[in-house]
Structure 1
Amino acid sequence: MTQTQVHISLTLERLWQFSLQYYSVREVKEACLSLQNNYHGNVNLLLLLKWLDEQQASIDEQDWHRVLTCIGPTEGLLHSYRELRRKLKVHLPDTLYRESLQFELQLEKQQQSDLVDCINQLELYSVGSQRMTQRYCKELAADHLAGIFSKPASFSPKQLSSKQSPQK
């Protein structure tokens, strides 16, 4: 079976706004945190894959390693910073803790920028039998979370002007 190539324009701002809106859904946020904390999944990667699912696009199997490699430089830094922030939470004044969350969001946005750069260098194809979020959940042995991510996003592109920030 041949795959049909698709052409999609992805920008950092488009992915970031989609992520903010999608992550603001309580069930999605809880599933993302479970994926991150219990299965060592990458939430930014999951959000990118969900965006691709919404566009009915997928990454070719042979390019999967390139996508995983592109998050490597920021993944270790993000993980270390997140752990430090959690440990310091009880010791920091609220204002300093909020600043630490904002810095973490900047690291998250940098990782999304890396993902956008990577995706824009790949050929994308129309969705096959399995959605990208389902594939990722299965790879992490978190199949039960795939059902949450397989539901269509409950907002239109016009709603993507929201400036809410996810809090991880």
Structure 2
Amino acid sequence: MRDAARLGDGWFPYYVARDRFASWVPELRNLRRDEGLDPDAFTVLGGPTVSVQADPAKAKKTVAANVAWYVAAMGDVYANSLRKQGYADAVEAVIAANPKSVPGGMVVPPEAEVLLEQLTAYGSPGDVAAGLAAWDSAVDVNMLGLVPGTPWDEIEAILKAGAPTRVDT
């Protein structure tokens, strides 16, 4: 993260909790200022994994399976990162709830739903648009994460829900 601020012109982390950006982005910009670099010439990208479906429970299940896969089945990188971000109890709950790795079939138990709040946006187009608004204020560029295998009709719905509202002047 610090190397990105010193050596790059941007940072695009994956599976960083939305609320962490509030302290990390100013820290990175201050680091650039201390290095004699333009803090405003540093772009932070981030965003949630998104699912738009008519049935909000199915949308939630889709993003939850993806979060559980990254936390419990992708080695230690994402789990350790989330632990360091303050979500150790949630990570342990996800790992305990998923003793076998089954793509698309893993779960986030109720006691770990904070991970869904911090890493995802799901539900109807309106629900997703509202969830993305919180990300818009956290990062410079809001990226929309797709679950592998997302069908085209859902991708189209995600893009529409995430598109900026056009205002004619």
Q: When the two structures are superposed, what TM-score results if normalisation uses the length of structure 1?
A: 0.29
Higher relative contact order (Cα pairs below 8 Å, separated by 6+ residues): 1
Q: When the two structures are superposed, what TM-score results if normalisation uses the length of structure 2?
A: 0.29
Q: Give the structure with the larger helix fraction.
A: 1
Q: Give the structure with the larger strand fraction.
A: 2
